[in-house]
Structure 1
């Protein structure tokens, strides 16, 4: 059994725990919250034996082997590094940190302490992403890639009414790119590697985060376009165009349907069943890695995570999006 601690008592944590119940080796042992009341409430909800309101105490305790971090993006690096320094394995929600330098610090700390750190980017572990990888050759040489994730945020209505919630605060390293755009970038880099060049455009809100944006990533003979927004809605599918046909994929964040439309007009449906909740697959990978003593995922690898963050950093640089985390690294 792998004894897990949980940081973050929000809806994403609840989805993660619902998925993790399908993993026999997953044992929920502890929860952290800033207040005793919320820690006790969450512990009672999930029958968690230990609760903490002090991260240092939790990290140094002997009641957990690993931690799942689902706190605000700006806190990921500092919290992960604390637990890694205490010899705890870390599964951290996407984006792994606020910038590439923080990601590198996390990796360096994990290596120094011989523990595992992995980004909880779910899409690359899903059965239909494996289908994409195994069948990509069928469309011939790749020429175009498009991935869009535009989802109108209910919090934007509150923003327009004068209430700025965490989703639109730069101090939490949030915004359209970090919340949604990374879902477009990570699979691209998993499939094609780091780009040769990035050209980006975007719009910033008065709060200081980006409301929407787009980027063109150039590869040898390939143009990749990613588009993301928290202030508009889109249903355009994710597609990869090759010389022999086009692969169409539904839902950038969680591919559920995959088909190829060949140039001759024929269509091949490649979709496979997904028997478990979408977050099960990342949790299962992490648990299996810990049990095998493997300190890096071959899927959500160091290379894929830091390459994605470097592209995000470049996009932010070009559109003028700066987080306090960036400034603290300079000082």
Structure 2
């Protein structure tokens, strides 16, 4: 059983905890919040849970083995570092870290202290994602792709009123690209590998981050376009163009349907996609398999592939931000 502690008391943390408990491999052990009342309000539905309002006390809980971190983006690095130094595995909500330097240091520390680091990019752990991966041909038969994830955030209303919520703040490493664009970038890199070049054309808002934008990932023989945003809505499907047809997905962040259309418009093939009740249960199950079987060589190879993918996604996000002139406070450290 994995004794889980959590940092961050928002809706996504509830969703992860419920997903983790549903696998039968986790038990919620501890909740951290700067305010005791908020921690207790979060944990009351889960039975007996320990609470902490300072991180030293929280990481000092000896029987807590794994920490899920869903705090504001810019806080992930220091919290993950402190957890690893305390001997805890870390599951860090995407985007895990602000810069490649932060990512490299956490990967190094995790290896040095013999613990696991996972970035909680749930889409790549879904069975539907693997179904698409198994269907795709070799890269020399791919001629392009268009991925989109753009959803209006009610917190943008606060920006319009002159405020600066965390998700739209350079201080907290926010913006559309890192919050939503990370999903299509993860999909592209998981399916097609590391691009040769990456570019981003972002619409910057008053707080200095991107409200929406269009990215280009350039591969040897094709390009992938990325559309993302938090100040508007997109209803576009995702498409992967092959030299013999087109694979149409409802989305890449959570695949519910995938249909292949052949080049001659004579045949359609619907891929077998199965839905799960909680979209985070498959990643929670995948992480548990690695944590509970540290000597399994096949799982070890799989884990290393996730770490390398996380490193590559972080680098691409950084390069795309740089090309758009988006500067986080973390970049200046």
**Into which bin does the TM-score normalised by the smaller protein fall?**
over 0.9
The match for 1:161 is 161
Alignment gaps of 5+ in structure 2: none
1:295 Cα shift? 5.8
1:140: how far off?
Answer: 7.3
In the alignment, structure 1 residue 275 sits paired with structure 2 residue 276:
yes
Label 1:299 to 1:123 Cα distance change in 2 as closer, same or farther (>3 A). farther
Aligned to 1:308: 313
1:94-120 CA deviation, whole Å, 9 max, x = no partner? 011111111111100100001000110
Residues 139, 243 of structure 1: 8 Å contact kept: no
Query: 1:60 Cα deviation (Å)?
Result: 2.4
1:261 is paired with a residue whose SS is strand
SS in 2 for 1:109: helix
Structure 2: distance between partners of 1:236 and 1:49: 43
Question: Which residue of the partner structure matches residue 174 of structure 1?
Answer: 174
Q: Once the 2 structures are TM-superposed, how far is the Cα of residue 132 of structure 1 from its aligned partner? A: 0.5
1:56 aligns with: 56
* Cα contact 2:147–2:251 (8 A) shared by 1: no
Residue deviations 1:126-171 (CA, integer Å, cap 9, x gap): 1110111111129970010111111111111222122322221111
- Cα distance change of structure 1 residues 234 and 145 upon mapping to structure 2, 3 Å threshold: same
Name the residue aligned to 2:327. Answer: 322
Aligned to 2:66: 66
Q: d(CA) in 1 for partners of 2:133 and 2:62?
A: 40
How far apart, CA to CA, are the structure 1 residues paired with 2:301 and 2:70? 20
Identify unmatched segments of 5+ residues in structure 1: none
Q: In 2, are the aligned partners of 1:139 and 1:247 still within 8 Å (CA)? A: no
Structure 1 residue 299 displacement after superposition: 8.0
How far is 1:122 from its partner?
A: 0.5
Larger mean CA deviation between 226-235 and 162-171 belongs to: 162-171
Q: Give distance in 2, aligned partners of 1:110 and 1:297.
A: 16
RMSD: 1.7
> What is the distance in 1 between the residues matched to 2:106 and 2:121?
16
Paired residue for 2:290? 289
- Whether contact under 8 Å (1:176, 1:211) holds in the other structure is yes
Show the counterpart of 1:27.
27
Under a length normalisation based on structure 2, what TM-score does the superposition of the two structures give? 0.94
CA contact (8 A) 2:139 2:192 kept: no
d(CA) in 2 for partners of 1:34 and 1:295?
A: 35
Q: Is the 8 A contact 1:148 1:226 kept in 2?
A: yes
Residue matched to 1:94: 94
CA distances 1:259-304 after superposition (whole Å, capped 9, x unpaired): 1111121110003212341100111111111100166744861211
Q: What SS class does the counterpart of residue 235 from structure 1 fall into?
A: coil
1:193-272 equivalences under 5 Å are 193-265=193-265, 266-272=267-273
Instruction: Please give the alpha-carbon distance, in whole angstroms, between the structure 1 residues aligned to 2:139 and 2:257.
Output: 17
Q: Is the 8 A contact 1:116 1:296 kept in 2?
A: no
Number of equivalences: 328
Is 1:139–1:245's contact at 8 Å kept on the other side of the alignment?
Answer: no
Contact 1:149 1:181 (8 Å CA) reproduced? yes
Partners of 2:132 and 2:282 in 1: CA distance? 16
Task: Say if 2:140 and 2:221, in contact at 8 Å, map to a contact too.
Answer: no
SS for the counterpart of 2:137 is: helix
Contact 2:238 2:248 in 1 (8 A): yes
